[in-house]
Amino acid sequence: MAKNTQDSYHLPLQETIVHNNKTVRAIELVNLSLLVSVLVYRLVYFKDQDQYLPWLLAFLCESWFTFNWALSICIKWNQYTTKTYPDRLLKRVSESEFPAVDIFVTTADPVLEPSIITMNTVLSLLAVDYPANKLALYLSDDGCSPLTLYSLVETTKFAKLWIPFCKKYSVQVRAPFRYFNSKSTPLKDDSLEFQQEWNKMKKEYGELYKKIDLAAQRPFICDRNSDFAVFDGVHRSDHPTIVKVVSENKEGTSSDLPHVTYISREKSPKHQHHYKAGAMNVLARVSGVMTNAPLMLNVDCDMYANNP
């Protein structure tokens, strides 16, 4: 038993599998030799041409094509696949030894980048198989939209149901819109408990979708006595910094919801804001003050994470 434990400790966390592509290499070399032969032919018979300009243009075009072909061969010459084994990580270290990770999600416009898509990205990241007390998610809103903050608040409420569901039933696709689209109904062979929870979860996600969609269709009223009072009278290109802690893992438990923070950086027409680079700079500064994790992960608002 001790020997098996020791062997499992030394198992690699990742493996590089090299593909046998000798046939592909041979074909690529034949094609390259033919292209080089054409270039040699152009050079040898260049002086014999009465109209050298078309001949020169053909030579230049073929040279550029050959150069691109050579670059493509370099890329495809060594083909391999990297396979990871995240399940072996717990055999080496305990969860308490995992490094903390600050996750950055950036969005700029709730119209061009619909909030429901951004929130699916947030949900998939919050539901990853990683201790919640080691994660912190920061959402950067360059559009300074109260709709984005409202969507994030409602999403964290749904996340308290979605995350336990994903971990209990080992859901692979952890973005709800993708999960429910790929699986319209639970299978008949699934347990009755799973079918009931699946239907409940789909209903809850439908309610979240309706709330965000309804809020997007009408003007957002910023009540001065609410958390959205800071948006009253602000313009997306001229406003002070807004930082809102939406969810805080106060107990520091691995089963709770990770830290979730909304950030809209200061903007002024008098100063260049440097687009996404400026947003990333502010995210790094704010996270450095609040959680200061040794690792940072940047994710676009239209991406989502799967359970490997």
Q: For residue range 13-61, what is the model confidence (pLDDT) as tens digits?
A: 889 998 888 888 899 889 999 999 999 998 888 777 677 788 889 999 9
- Please report how the helices 22-44 and 52-76 are oriented relative to each other, as an axis angle in degrees rounded to 10: 160
Q: How many CB atoms lie within 10 A of CB 101?
A: 20
pLDDT of 2: 46
pLDDT at 225: 56
160 labeled binding residue:
no
pLDDT tens, residue by residue, 237-249: 888 999 999 999 8
Give every CB contact of residue 115 below 8 A, 6+ residues apart in sequence: 147, 148, 151, 212, 216
To the question of whether residue 207 is assigned a binding role by annotation, the answer is no
Reported as half-sphere exposure (CB side, CA atoms, 13 A), residue 87 has a value of 4
Measured in degrees and rounded to the nearest 5, phi and psi for residue 122 equal -60, -45
Cα separation, 92 vs 115, whole angstroms: 39
Tell me whether residue 142 is annotated as binding. yes
CA–CA dist 24, 34 (Å, integer): 16
Q: For residues 184 and 229, which has the higher predicted lDDT (pLDDT)?
A: 229
Pairing label, strands 259-264, 135-141: parallel
pTM for the whole thing? 0.79
Q: Is the per-residue pLDDT at 1 higher than 80?
A: no
Asked whether the predicted pLDDT for residue 221 surpasses 80, the reply is: no
- pLDDT of 224 over the 70 cut: no
Distance between CA atoms of 297 and 138, rounded to whole angstroms? 10
User: Cα(250)–Cα(158) distance, rounded to whole angstroms?
Assistant: 19
CB burial class (10 A; 0-12, 13-18, 19+) of residue 223? exposed
Q: What's the chain's average pLDDT?
A: 88
Residue 300 marked ligand-binding: yes
